[in-house]
Structure 1
Amino acid sequence: MDNKGQASAEFILLFGGIMVVVLLVIYMYNNYLGDLSGEIASKEVNDFNNELQLISKYFK
């Protein structure tokens, strides 16, 4: 029959499945980086506030 057409269709399905997995991984990694940057920013703000509090005692 038409074995070339079947092989092409299977290749397209395989490639599509791989693309779906790659897109899901990129989406999850993007969310991970967003959460991580929020934590880093929060830590930086807390460190900055702590330093300001330490310095503020010299201005009272």
Structure 2
Amino acid sequence: MIIVFDECGQGAAEYILLFGGVIVIAIATLLIYTEYIKTTNPLNVAKDLNSVRESVNSG
């Protein structure tokens, strides 16, 4: 009895597992560091926008 190993889809399956793992790690990282990003972010869009408008209007 001859056993034939068909490995046509193996590469695609490995890439799917690899990208799935990367996505899971990225989501876990975002969930862990959400509060850190919210509390330490020095950017204030409204303040920065007003600053740019004032500098453009003043010439």
Query: Of Structure 1 and Structure 2, which has the larger fraction of its residues in helix?
Result: 1
Structure-2-length-normalised TM-score: 0.49
